[in-house]
Amino acid sequence: MMRRSWGWFLLLLVGLLAFSASSVSAQDGASKLADGVYGIKGPGEAINTGFVVGDRGIFVYSCSIDDYDRRVQAIQGVAAGKPIRFVSNGHYAGDDTMCNHLFAEQGAVVLGSNEFARQLLPYWPKRMAEELKQGKIKKEYLEGKTVEMAMPVITFDDKLTLDLGGRVVELIFMGKAHTPDNTIAWLPKEKILFVNDLLFVELHPTADGRSDVANWQRILRNLSGWSPVTVVPGHGVFAAGNGTKPLLEMDRYFDTMRTRVKAMKDAGKSLDDIKKGIRAELGEFAKWPRERAIPATAEQIYRELSASR
């Protein structure tokens, strides 16, 4: 009887260890979404990275310099020695673009829309100065680097198609939503989307004076109509096969926010009162983390409601 009990215990222990190893691999390394297509989860609320491995090399979408070493190791772990050929970004913010120059130094070509280039050019040197002042990033990753190294070498207006050899990636400029320069990466064969900050999963999203929330919602609905099999958000969890659910949930979040802001506005509440009280009005979404983003998003929706009258 004792031997049988120990046998079951050992089987359970082996199973738990295998599950733990799998979880660590997915968290610390690259999560496989399809053959040659991977996502890297950012730590906590940090930005996620997507990458595609083709016969001719690798395409990388979004990267945080705070977490650069781990992400590069994750890419190298499945790349079988192939070089990083192309890099693109979802928008110009530093948590997305501050690795561009490091990839470019290794021979990668930075790609981006013309609007992205316009936004990045004045922003990047300021962000670089901030990073140097804070001193949290390795100096060799920052010192002596110029904005020209981070800028897109190849630009496009609406769409750019990459043939990596066995994998096709379409970079599509979506217009103003979270910021004026939002660009997605779409794999039409695999039906996988990398959407950057167009999508926050179970996290309050950031909208502000740079945003157009109404258009953001139109984009979310449009993308859900493509019936993607997997969507990798800018921030938050993801898994292969998550489908349209996170896109539609983000749209519903904005619908809820808009409805409640309008009701409070129509009731005579001031903007300050709305910003202070809106979280309690968000129902199931109120418990999401990143609550610091709520006031700015409420204010932007308030502006859009006022402008539409």
Q: Please give the average pLDDT of every successive group of 10 residues along the chain, which has 309 residues.
A: 41 37 52 98 97 98 97 96 97 98 98 98 97 96 97 98 98 98 98 98 98 98 98 98 98 98 98 98 98 98 93
Tell me the C-alpha distance between 244 and 239, whole Å: 12
The pLDDT, as a whole number, for residue 2 is: 38
Question: Does residue 296 contact residue 206 with C-beta atoms inside 8 Å?
Answer: yes
Q: Does residue 5 form part of some domain?
A: no
The pLDDT, as a whole number, for residue 1 is: 42
* Parallel, antiparallel or unpaired: strands 168-175 and 49-54: unpaired
Which amino acid is located at 272 in the chain?
Answer: D
Q: Does residue 40 form part of some domain?
A: yes
Q: Does residue 66 form part of some domain?
A: yes
The two structure tokens encoding residue 115:
């609007």
Q: Does residue 11 form part of some domain?
A: no
Which amino acid is located at 267 in the chain?
Answer: A
Tell me the C-alpha distance between 291 and 279, whole Å: 8
We report the CATH number of the domain holding residue 118 as 3.60.15.10
The pLDDT, as a whole number, for residue 308 is: 84
Provide the residue range defining the domain that includes 107.
Answer: 30-307
The two structure tokens encoding residue 47:
């930005």
What contacts 29, CB < 8 A, 6 or more positions away?
A: 40, 73, 74, 77, 78
At residue 86, what are phi and psi to the nearest 5 degrees?
A: -135, 145
Q: Does residue 234 form part of some domain?
A: yes
Burial of 165 (0-12, 13-18, 19+ CB in 10 A): middle
| Nearest alpha-carbon partner for 205 in 165, 256, 141 | 256
Q: Does residue 70 form part of some domain?
A: yes
> How many structural domains is the chain composed of?
1
Q: Does residue 42 form part of some domain?
A: yes
The pLDDT, as a whole number, for residue 11 is: 37
CA dihedral 225, 164, 27, 185 (to 10 degrees): -30
- Kindly report the pTM of this predicted structure: 0.91
The pLDDT, as a whole number, for residue 242 is: 98
The pLDDT, as a whole number, for residue 152 is: 98
Q: Does residue 14 form part of some domain?
A: no
The pLDDT, as a whole number, for residue 3 is: 42
